[in-house]
Structure 1
């Protein structure tokens, strides 16, 4: 199967996101993370306090990100940061920290349009929760999508409401499914995010979550292993009751990811498989591996198992 040309146009054994971008854009595209000072309804008391039990945004926000800086300033700093590595390229403004649709429509329009006003920015990637997206916002983004690349990244995390409750998520899976369907058909790229290893989720359930989600009108799937991070509620829970969590060993997770790849919709692009917490933040599991090293192991495992995306996929009616 190594020389097989798959339906996504190359001989890679899964529909990878970088190849999707190369097909869509004629030049290199880089995301620039932006912290626009948002919060979440499970932080500000609307639906709860404390946020998701596993969350520590400081563990993945780049150094140039700060809500003390304007969107324009963060874009300029991000471009300077990436220009040291790559020259001629365009950028996507990635509103990443917390829930980036959690505000009035007027405020959202102002910050999104500020980002798009930069001559090198060709689109937006907006990370948010499925319970923070109004129909009015979707109509507005549908309009932007006629001229720009617009992507909504929805934190689904799990399809198991018991798991969502256990992490203080504050919304149900049913809300996520409805919002994904409401977003579809508008020219907006739809991404979904899963965390593998949450309390109340078993490996078999996690596999079924990915399969079910890939049957929805999503374009991209991100997933990663649960990591216990310092300075989180989950860190305290893990210290008291570690057996409550299914923390994957790396080889186990590799096989799990291959199982997922074989069974999900081949039309869905895969963007991420693991998370890498910065040194000093991670409590467990400590794999000691970088993203590109995991991907190399995954490619090898796919060959060993003669596996490819959608090999066993069955459309759910």
Structure 2
């Protein structure tokens, strides 16, 4: 039986911990042309499901980290009375850049008393030896989580969504991160183009069998957003291939997530079970905008599956 994030954090700190969304000023290797596809195409648009607005606007010159943290705290002041926070570097690939600049940025965040955890989103192909050494140094100051956007274990889908790396790259990065004592959280998207429920369950089963055991997982439904490569493909193919984009109903999705959770080991912490895209950009599934209702349904269906 896996654990809820709230349970896990309460065990560790005895208080509510809230995420602060911060920017590192990085981009992605499948956005800047560094990755070449098997057909010779250079990737410049990022993953096909990702939009600029949906993942946070990229800016090479971001505000100083102290200023970002204070502004982020102001934004959530009306939602929570939390005094302790996770510094969450979410958008783009936050280990893809000048290592000295990143080391200084993350060290400044980690040194603050109100920051309890550093959570850094990145890609498995951007976790080289220098990055591992940086993370080990940061871990001496505060706990470090690395979030890897695997999304699927299926290579055909990975090519379709322009992920830009193979499963063996993930496996190598995962092993080296775990050997370094870093907690790893893996992101999975339910409903990627062309995948069946069996395909999606294979991804969950693969993650549940990982050794060392997976620390955390984020599960979310595919968000089809305007302005993405995926949306353009959807407009071209939705009538010719109705099975490619087969969006689940809310009922189906919540049932499926409960089936996924039943497969996870007790050591794995569930960080997310759904996602909600920007209303102005969201095409499908429209039910995902009602996040409160989705979470209530998930809570009922997953009762007994999470500690």
What residue in structure 2 maps to residue 117 of structure 1? Answer: 111
Are residues 1:52 and 2:47 paired?
yes
SS at match of 2:145: strand
Are residues 1:246 and 2:219 paired?
no
Deviation, 1:70, is: 2.1
Deviation, 1:67, is: 4.9
What residue in structure 2 maps to residue 228 of structure 1? Answer: 224
Q: Relative to structure 2, which stretch is displaced further, 149-158 or 239-248?
A: 239-248
What residue in structure 2 maps to residue 31 of structure 1? Answer: 19
Checking the alignment, whether the CA contact within 8 Å between 1:265 and 1:309 is kept in structure 2 is: no
**1:130-156 deviation digits (Å, cap 9, x = unpaired):** 110112221221232133021000010
Are residues 1:77 and 2:71 paired?
yes
Deviation, 1:234, is: 0.7
Q: Which runs of 5+ in 1 are unaligned?
A: 1-6, 8-13, 311-317
2:56 and 2:146 mapped to 1: Cα distance?
18
**1:219-244 deviation digits (Å, cap 9, x = unpaired):** 10001111110111111111111222
Checking the alignment, whether the CA contact within 8 Å between 2:288 and 2:294 is kept in structure 1 is: no
1:118 and 1:134 mapped to 2: Cα distance?
26
Are residues 1:295 and 2:295 paired?
yes
What residue in structure 1 maps to residue 203 of structure 2? Answer: 209
Checking the alignment, whether the CA contact within 8 Å between 2:56 and 2:91 is kept in structure 1 is: yes
Checking the alignment, whether the CA contact within 8 Å between 2:184 and 2:214 is kept in structure 1 is: yes
Which among 72, 97, 105 is matched to residue 103 of structure 1? 97
2:68 and 2:85 mapped to 1: Cα distance?
12
Checking the alignment, whether the CA contact within 8 Å between 1:154 and 1:193 is kept in structure 2 is: yes
Number of residue pairs aligned between Structure 1 and Structure 2: 293
2:60 and 2:44 mapped to 1: Cα distance?
22
Are residues 1:126 and 2:120 paired?
yes
Q: 1:289 to 1:283 in 2, by over 3 A?
A: closer
**1:267-293 deviation digits (Å, cap 9, x = unpaired):** 211111111012211001111553343
Q: Which runs of 5+ in 2 are unaligned?
A: 36-42
Q: 1:66 to 1:251 in 2, by over 3 A?
A: farther
SS at match of 1:131: helix
Aligned-pair Cα RMSD in Å: 2.2
TM-score (norm. length: structure 1)? 0.86
Q: 1:67 to 1:229 in 2, by over 3 A?
A: farther
Checking the alignment, whether the CA contact within 8 Å between 1:194 and 1:224 is kept in structure 2 is: yes
Are residues 1:218 and 2:214 paired?
yes
Q: Relative to structure 2, which stretch is displaced further, 80-89 or 261-270?
A: 80-89
Q: 1:106 to 1:154 in 2, by over 3 A?
A: same
Checking the alignment, whether the CA contact within 8 Å between 2:18 and 2:82 is kept in structure 1 is: no
Deviation, 1:57, is: 4.2
What residue in structure 2 maps to residue 314 of structure 1? Answer: none
What residue in structure 2 maps to residue 148 of structure 1? Answer: 142
